[in-house]
Each structure stands twice: as C-alpha cells, then as structure tokens.
C-alpha cells in the first residue's frame, strides 16, 4: 500500500466507530450498578462532560478561544428555572428544548456580532457578553431571584424517572441518556464535511477564506450549535440541582469547562469525558478538605499542560499508543 493509499484509507475510515469508544459508556453504565452511593457525583460529572463537550466544538474543532461559554450554560439553566418558577412548567424534556432554543438564540445573536473579531478582542467580548448576562440576571431580581437564587421544581421524566433527593438513579440515567444523544449529534457534526471545514478554519483561516469557504457563516453556525448543547447542559444542571444561583453565569463556571477540556484534551471528542471525570473526582476528594492545595494543584497542572502537554491526557495517551505501535513494528 502506498503512502497516498494509506492516507486515503485513514481519511475514509476516520469517522468509523472504534471498539475503544465504547469504554466510557460501558464505564458509565457499570458505575450505575457498582457505585450506587456515588450517583450524585456521577450525575454532576455527566453534566460537566456535556458542557465541556459543547466547548470542544467551538474551541477544539473551530479554534474559537472563548472565556464566556457559561453565558449559554446559564441561559439554559435560567430558561428551565424561569419556566418552573413563573409559568408552572415542570415538564423536563420540553423544558430542555426551551433551554436549548434560548441558548441557541443567544449564541446566534452574540456569535453573529462577535465572531468578526479574533484574538484578545474576541476573548474580551465573549467574557463581557457573559458578564452582561450575569449582571442582567442579578438586576432582574423579581424574575431570577437575583443573588439569592431560584428554586426549580421538575416533574418525573416521562412519569418514570423521579428527581428525588434520596435516590439519584433516576437523574443519573436521565443525564446519561441525554449525554449519549448529544454526543451522537456532536460526533456527527465533527465528522461531517462541515466539521472538516471547521478544522480547516482552525488550522489556517486565511487559506479557508482563499478557497472561498464561507468562514464566518460556518463559525456562527457551530457557535449556535455549541450554545444549544451548552444550554441543554445548563438546563439539566438546573433540573438536577433543583436550585440555581448567579454562579451558573460566572467566569469560574466558564473556566471550569475550559480546564476540564484542556486537561482531557481538546479537539478529541473524548477529552471532555476524561477531563470531567478526573476533575470532579479529585474535587470531590480534595476541594473541601484542602481548598488551597486543590487550587494550587489545579493551577500547577494548567501551567504544566500549557508548557509541556498541549494535547491533554487523551493526547498523551495517543502519543504513547503511537510510540508503542512503532516499537512493535520495528
């Protein structure tokens, strides 16, 4: 097989499902049966995976560096919260659809306006948009509860899976099912011709302009899709926690998704899974007992990743696998 043929085969088969891809799902289902007392943390992990996955679409694939992704997470969360508090709308699935639509709208409008810029300006504008929404939610105290937060009341999913504070199995299954569904969407987008053109924009935006690709339109499209998914994550967060505060729109929330994604590896689909699981488990173990050390360690890991391991953990794993394969061949 010539090099060109090998490359053609690799390109033609790269979207196929590899056996290893079943691993996170098998683990997630296994955790349901094996670790019933950890399902509360498990649900939070699944939500964080979904949020980081949405960020992966814009950051990892389209190369849009944003510090304001919590704008969409928060919009989704407040959409569910406001429906429940003011319109007596407690049905979870339609609630999430509204959350996705609201976040997508914010994504479309802000993306349409902001994505003309790049670099520091874009970074600032995404952050400022998020903070603007934060201030808005803070100001509209009658609607959002302001600083005190907003209680959220949700009916059982399809009348079956209950959001009970005593058993977490219902919400875990609900979150897992949603994550799987959203993951299929993201995977589909990433391996479509549209997804490839996004990678092209990330790698060389000038050349994409030169070959006549509608760069800005594609960026706005992926930004909107990503916003909708982040909105679902936020809506799910509101439903599961039964309470939301302004925290869902904070810089910390946006930074957490970024850290999780970078730790796991961006532009790799499964980076979000590895990063979120590791982050939440470590946080659960360390953050309450040793908050300073947790924060210091988190910072140190970021510095080390920036300097030495830009591809994150899944990247390191892929490199090790590659080296192993080469050694086996020679």
Partner 1 sequence: MESIDIPSIVLGGLAYGMLLFIVSVGLSVTMGLMGFVNLAHGAFAMIGGYVVVTLMGGLGANFFLALLAAFVLVALVSVVFERLLYAPLYRADELSQVLLTIGLVFMMIATVTFFWGTEPKTIRLPSYLAGPMDLGFTSFPAYRIFMIGVGAAMIVALWLGFERTTIGAQIRAAVDNRRMAQSLGINVDRLFTMTFALGSGLAAMGGGLGIEIIGLNPQYALNYLVFFLIVVAVGGLGSIRGTFLAALVIGMFDFAGKRLYPEAGAFFIYAITIAVLLWRPQGLFGRR
CB 57 within 8 A of CB 229: yes
- Give the range of 7-15, 87-95, 129-137, 222-230 binding partner 1 by CB under 8 A: 129-137
Instruction: List Cβ neighbours of 179 (8 Å cut-off, separation of 6 or more).
Output: 46, 49, 50, 53
Contact call for residue 307 and partner 1 (CB under 8 A): yes
Residues 195-224 that bind partner 1 (CB under 8 A): none
Contact call for residue 132 and partner 1 (CB under 8 A): yes
Contact call for residue 139 and partner 1 (CB under 8 A): yes
- Give the range of 59-67, 69-77, 184-192, 320-328 binding partner 1 by CB under 8 A: 59-67
Contact call for residue 54 and partner 1 (CB under 8 A): no
CA angle, 316 then 270 then 51, to 5°? 125
Contact call for residue 128 and partner 1 (CB under 8 A): yes
Contact call for residue 65 and partner 1 (CB under 8 A): yes
Judged by CB under 8 A, which of 136, 158, 184, 321 binds partner 1? 136
Token pair, residue 264, equals: 């796991």
Contact call for residue 316 and partner 1 (CB under 8 A): no
CB 236 within 8 A of CB 73: no
* Nearest by Cα to 317 from 272, 261, 265: 265
Judged by CB under 8 A, which of 7, 29, 113, 184 binds partner 1? 113
Query: Which SS3 state, helix, strand or coil, does residue 172 take?
Result: helix
Q: Where are the beta strands (DSSP E) in 73-198?
A: 150-151
Distance CA 248, CA 73 (A): 7
Positive or negative: CA dihedral 230, 61, 281, 36: positive
Residue 233-252 contact track with partner 1, rule CB under 8 A, x = bound: ------------------xx
Chain residues binding partner 1 by CB under 8 A are 59, 65, 67, 113-114, 116-117, 119-121, 123-125, 127-129, 131-132, 135-136, 138-139, 141, 251-252, 255, 258-259, 262, 291-296, 298-307, 310
């Amino acid at each position: 097989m010539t090099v060109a043929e090998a490359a053609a085969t690799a390109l033609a088969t790269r979207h196929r499902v590899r056996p290893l891809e079943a691993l996170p799902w098998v683990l997630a289902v296994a955790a349901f049966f094996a670790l019933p007392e950890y399902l509360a943390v498990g649900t939070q992990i699944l939500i964080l995976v979904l949020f980081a996955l949405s960020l992966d679409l814009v950051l990892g694939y389209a190369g849009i560096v944003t510090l304001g992704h919590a704008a969409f997470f928060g919009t989704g969360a407040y959409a569910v919260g406001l429906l429940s508090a003011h319109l007596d709308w407690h049905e979870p699935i339609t609630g999430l659809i509204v959350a996705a639509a609201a976040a997508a709208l914010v994504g479309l409008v802000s993306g349409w306006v902001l994505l003309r810029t790049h670099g520091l300006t874009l970074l600032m504008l995404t952050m400022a948009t998020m903070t603007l929404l934060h201030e808005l939610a803070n100001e509209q105290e009658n609607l959002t509860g302001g600083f005190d937060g907003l209680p959220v009341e949700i009916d059982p999913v399809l009348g079956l899976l209950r959001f009970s504070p005593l058993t977490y199995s219902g919400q875990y299954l609900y979150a897992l099912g949603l994550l799987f569904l959203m993951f299929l969407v993201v995977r589909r987008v990433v391996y479509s011709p549209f997804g490839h053109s996004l990678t092209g924009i990330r790698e060389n935006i000038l050349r994409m302009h030169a070959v006549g690709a509608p760069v800005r339109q594609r960026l706005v499209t992926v930004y909107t899709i990503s916003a909708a998914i982040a909105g679902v994550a936020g809506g799910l967060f509101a439903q599961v926690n039964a309470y939301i505060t302004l925290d869902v729109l904070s810089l910390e929330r946006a930074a957490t998704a970024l850290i999780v994604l970078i730790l796991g590896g961006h532009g790799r689909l499964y980076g979000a899974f590895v990063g979120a699981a590791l982050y939440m488990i470590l946080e659960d173990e360390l953050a309450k007992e040793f908050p300073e050390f947790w924060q210091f360690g988190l910072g140190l890991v970021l510095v080390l990743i920036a300097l030495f391991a830009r591809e994150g953990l899944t990247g390191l794993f892929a490199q090790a696998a590659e080296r192993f394969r080469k050694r086996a061949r020679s």
